[in-house]
């Protein structure tokens, strides 16, 4: 009983870590390649979750909702990049923080206009609704395993793109030395647009995946955003590997923290970050700037 309990927690931690990885990798790539700090990133997580709820309601199918929702989220992301973020590439971080902070206010209000302030749920698709029994009274929901599997598939896909393709080469070059990419004559605008869209797609997809297990509620993007920041800082900005390690660390600490030391759980995540930064001021896999 004891052991299976911990096994369930471990699976939860890994699943949470994977979701964080999806959100945080968009943040870290964007920072590494575009030099942009984007607070509105969490809003795309929220947008994804609400789209999943709304479109599932409309079409009756969670899968169709994902299929229709991703292009919508991408469209919103494109508009945001064109009409707000793209003016900030040359500007100070301060203005990036402020503008994307204002975007959060706008997104939150739009969400309330469109969907109201109620908390919603999304039904788990029938095919994944079951549970796998672990012991007599412990079982594990299939859908959570599906989340992890989907994230692993995406992580592998990302790894392949980044390590094996020409586009990935540009991304790697950009993350390690932004000036170099510009000097090499790569079409920076297109690269930026791609990286931004990739980030939006990952965050929205994470929100869609999470919708059936967490409920869909106003402001849900903000917690994810701040924890994703912690992940990025721990891992080192611009490093996908670091983000992965950071996401898993945070997944473990926060899941087991909630079980073992419930009243300290939220603080432990931040304390962990402070300790890691005292030890390595540029994160685990970050480069000194």
Partner 1 sequence: MSALIRSMPLLAALLALVLFPQFGSEYYVGLVSRILIVALFALSLDLLIGYTGLVSFGHAAFYGIGGYALAIAFQDASVIPLWQALPLSLAAAAFAALVIGWISIRTSGVYFIMLTLAMAQMFFYFFFESPRYGGDDGIFLFLKPVLMVGSEDILKLDQENNFYYFALSCLVASYLLLLMILRAPFGKVIKAIKANEHRVRALGYSTSGYKLVSFVIAGTLAGLAGFLEGVHSGYINPSYMSWHESGICIAIVVLGGMGTLYGPIVGAFIIILLQNFLPELTEHWQLLFGGIIIAVVLFLPRGATSLYPHLRELIRRPQRGEREPQEAADD
| Number of C-beta neighbours around residue 121 at 10 A | 13
CA distances to 12, 138, 141, 149 from 8, rounded to whole Å, are: 6, 8, 10, 16
Residue with smaller CB distance to partner 1, 149 or 274? 274
Residue with smaller CB distance to partner 1, 97 or 161? 97
Q: How far is the CB of 231 from partner 1 (least distance, A)?
A: 10
CA distances to 9, 42, 191, 250 from 269, rounded to whole Å, are: 17, 18, 33, 6
* CB-CB contact of 148 with 251 (8 Å): no
Please tell me whether residue 87 binds partner 1 under the rule CB under 8 A: yes
Please tell me whether residue 183 binds partner 1 under the rule CB under 8 A: no
3-state secondary structure of 133: strand
Residue 44: name the closest of 197, 191, 149 by CA.
197
Please tell me whether residue 281 binds partner 1 under the rule CB under 8 A: yes
* CB-CB contact of 12 with 144 (8 Å): yes
- Beta-bridge mates of residue 216: 120
HSE-CB of 207 using CA atoms within 13 angstroms: 34
Of 34, 103, 181, 252, the residue at the interface with partner 1 (CB under 8 A) is: 103
Please tell me whether residue 97 binds partner 1 under the rule CB under 8 A: yes
- 85 CB-contact burial (10 Å; exposed 0-12 / middle 13-18 / buried 19+): buried
Q: How far is the CB of 46 from partner 1 (least distance, A)?
A: 15
Of 226, 256, 259, 287, the residue at the interface with partner 1 (CB under 8 A) is: 226
Please tell me whether residue 82 binds partner 1 under the rule CB under 8 A: no
Q: How far is the CB of 186 from partner 1 (least distance, A)?
A: 23
Give, to the nearest 10 degrees, the angle between helix 93-115 and helix 220-235: 150
Residue with smaller CB distance to partner 1, 65 or 284? 284
* CB-CB contact of 157 with 21 (8 Å): no
Phi, psi of 37 (to 5 degrees): -105, 120
Residue with smaller CB distance to partner 1, 111 or 148? 111
Please tell me whether residue 80 binds partner 1 under the rule CB under 8 A: no
The number of residues that bind partner 1 (CB under 8 A) is: 46
Please tell me whether residue 114 binds partner 1 under the rule CB under 8 A: no
Please tell me whether residue 196 binds partner 1 under the rule CB under 8 A: no
Please tell me whether residue 47 binds partner 1 under the rule CB under 8 A: no
Of 8, 19, 24, 232, the residue at the interface with partner 1 (CB under 8 A) is: 232
Phi, psi of 141 (to 5 degrees): -65, 135
Residue with smaller CB distance to partner 1, 12 or 100? 100
Using CB under 8 A, list all residues that contact partner 1: 31, 37, 39, 84, 87-88, 91-95, 97-99, 101-106, 108-110, 112-113, 222, 226, 229-230, 232-233, 237, 263-264, 266-267, 270-271, 273-274, 277-278, 281-283, 289
């Amino acid at each position: 009983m004891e052991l299976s309990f911990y096994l369930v927690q471990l699976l939860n931690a890994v699943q949470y870590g994977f979701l964080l990885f999806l959100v945080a990798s968009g943040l870290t790539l964007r920072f590494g390649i575009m030099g942009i700090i984007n607070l509105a990133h969490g809003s795309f997580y929220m947008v994804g979750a609400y789209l999943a709820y709304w479109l599932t309601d409309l079409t009756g199918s969670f899968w169709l909702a994902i299929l229709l929702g991703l292009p919508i989220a991408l469209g919103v992301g494109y508009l945001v990049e064109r009409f707000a973020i793209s003016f900030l590439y040359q500007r100070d971080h301060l203005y990036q923080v402020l503008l994307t902070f204002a975007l959060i206010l706008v997104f939150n209000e739009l969400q309330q206009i469109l969907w109201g302030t109620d908390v919603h749920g999304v039904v788990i698709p029938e095919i994944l609704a079951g549970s796998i029994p672990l012991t007599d009274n412990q079982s594990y929901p299939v859908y959570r395993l599906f989340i992890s599997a989907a994230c692993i598939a995406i992580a592998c896909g990302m790894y392949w793109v980044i390590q094996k393709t020409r586009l990935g080469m540009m991304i790697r070059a950009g993350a390690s030395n932004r000036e170099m990419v510009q000097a090499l004559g790569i079409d920076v605008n297109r690269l930026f647009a791609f990286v931004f869209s990739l980030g939006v797609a990952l965050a929205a997809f994470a929100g869609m995946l999470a919708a059936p297990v967490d409920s869909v509620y106003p402001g849900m993007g903000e917690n994810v955003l701040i924890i994703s920041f912690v992940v990025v800082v721990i891992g080192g900005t611009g490093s996908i590997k670091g983000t992965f390690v950071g996401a898993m660390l945070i997944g473990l600490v926060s899941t087991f923290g909630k079980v073992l030391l419930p009243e300290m759980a939220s603080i432990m995540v931040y304390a962990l970050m402070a300790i890691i930064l005292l030890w390595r001021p540029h994160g685990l896999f970050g480069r000194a700037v």
